[in-house]
């Protein structure tokens, strides 16, 4: 992407910073009960079970890490930088077996390393993906990949995770990124990206992407607080917007 657009991202990040600081860390009221109205709405997947469902010190659920600032900040930039009419007043939180899931083309899940699912959820998630849904998994590391792989084999029997490199079109759907290998902000290691394609065919649609040894949304949540590097936060936003554009156009 051109230099002017890179500068726009930096300027808008500064705007996110100011708005967040002025409102005590939040960009105004954030609702999860909003009615579907055709506009793009960020969807977070809710899941139960597993020791990670208690979350940090048992105070919250692993699936709601970074909520709601991560989706607020991403939606704001998506609306300002692209022609997508993204909702910034709220988002949705749905379980995998909720009939409303099929209204939303992109679904984002946090902490899949602790994810457990029922047979019904596996069936409905399979249906969602095969009908065109795009799922993004984030905020997990090391051996937690095995839990994600095991669950996705229940969802899509026979599915293969392919390692993705910078040449993959999902990383170039809108922004030309400087790098996709910015470190996990918590553990500081290089991420690896995995994907599942329709019929295990890399020439077909990417249905699932997994950010392993990464926490992309952590950068969205804390952008502008000076806690995380600005350059890495910029790349995290570019990656998130690329994901959204890919999911909406494939």
For 83-116, how does the pLDDT look when each residue is reduced to its tens digit (9 = 90+)? 999 999 999 999 999 999 999 999 999 999 999 9
**Annotated domain spans of the chain:** 3-249
Which of 9-13, 92-96, 174-178, 245-249 has the weakest average pLDDT? Answer: 9-13
Tokens 């699932």 sit at which residue? 208
For residues 31-59, give the mean pLDDT: 72
Q: Is the pLDDT of residue 138 over 60?
A: yes
Q: Summarize the confidence of residues 11-36 as an average pLDDT.
A: 60
pLDDT band at 16 (very low <50, low <70, confident <90, very high): low
- pLDDT, mean over the chain: 87
Mean pLDDT of 211-221: 96
Selected from 3.40.50.300, 3.40.718.10, 3.40.50.12140, 2.30.36.70, the CATH number assigned to the domain covering 3-249 reads 3.40.50.12140
CA dihedral 198, 201, 203, 206 (to 10 degrees): 40
19 or 125: whose pLDDT is higher? 125
**pLDDT-wise least confident of 38-52, 72-86, 236-250:** 38-52
Answer yes or no: is pLDDT of 20 > 50.
Answer: no
Of the listed ranges 20-29, 196-205, 231-240, the least confidently predicted one is 20-29
Q: How does residue 22 score in pLDDT terms, banded at 50, 70 and 90? A: very low
Q: Which of 36-50, 58-72, 86-100 has the weakest average pLDDT?
A: 58-72
In angstroms, the CA 104 to CA 10 distance is: 29
Mean pLDDT of 7-19: 53
Over 70: is that where the pLDDT of 2 sits? no
- pTM, two decimals, is 0.88
The pLDDT value given to residue 31: 82
**Residue-level pLDDT at 179:** 96
Q: State the Cα torsion 167-80-92-55 to the nearest 10°.
A: 70
Distance CA 25, CA 98 (A): 31
- 104 vs 115: CA distance, rounded Å: 21
Q: Is residue 52 pLDDT above 70, yes or no?
A: no
């Amino acid at each position: 992407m051109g230099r002017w657009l890179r500068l726009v991202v930096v300027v808008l990040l500064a705007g996110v910073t100011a708005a967040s600081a002025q409102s005590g860390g939040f960009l105004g009221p954030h609702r999860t009960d909003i009615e579907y109205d055709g506009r793009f709405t960020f969807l977070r997947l809710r899941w139960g079970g597993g020791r990670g469902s208690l979350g940090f010190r048992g105070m919250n659920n692993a699936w709601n890490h970074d909520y709601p600032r991560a989706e607020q900040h991403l939606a704001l930039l998506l609306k300002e930088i692209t022609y997508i009419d993204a909702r910034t007043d709220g988002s949705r939180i749905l379980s995998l077996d909720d009939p409303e899931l099929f209204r939303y083309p992109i679904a984002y899940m946090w902490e899949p390393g602790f994810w457990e699912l029922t047979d019904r959820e596996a069936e409905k998630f399979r249906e969602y993906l095969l009908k065109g849904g795009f799922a993004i998994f984030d905020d997990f590391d090391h051996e937690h990949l095995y839990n994600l792989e095991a669950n996705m084999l229940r969802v899509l029997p026979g599915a293969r995770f392919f390692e993705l490199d910078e040449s993959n079109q999902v990383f170039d759907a809108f922004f030309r990124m400087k790098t996709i290998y910015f470190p996990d902000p918590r553990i500081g290691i290089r991420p690896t990206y995995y994907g599942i394609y329709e019929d295990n065919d890399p020439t077909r649609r990417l249905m699932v992407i997994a950010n392993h040894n990464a926490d992309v949304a952590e950068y969205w949540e804390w952008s502008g607080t000076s806690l995380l590097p600005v350059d890495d936060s910029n790349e995290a936003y570019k990656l998130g917007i690329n994901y959204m554009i890919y999911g909406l156009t494939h």
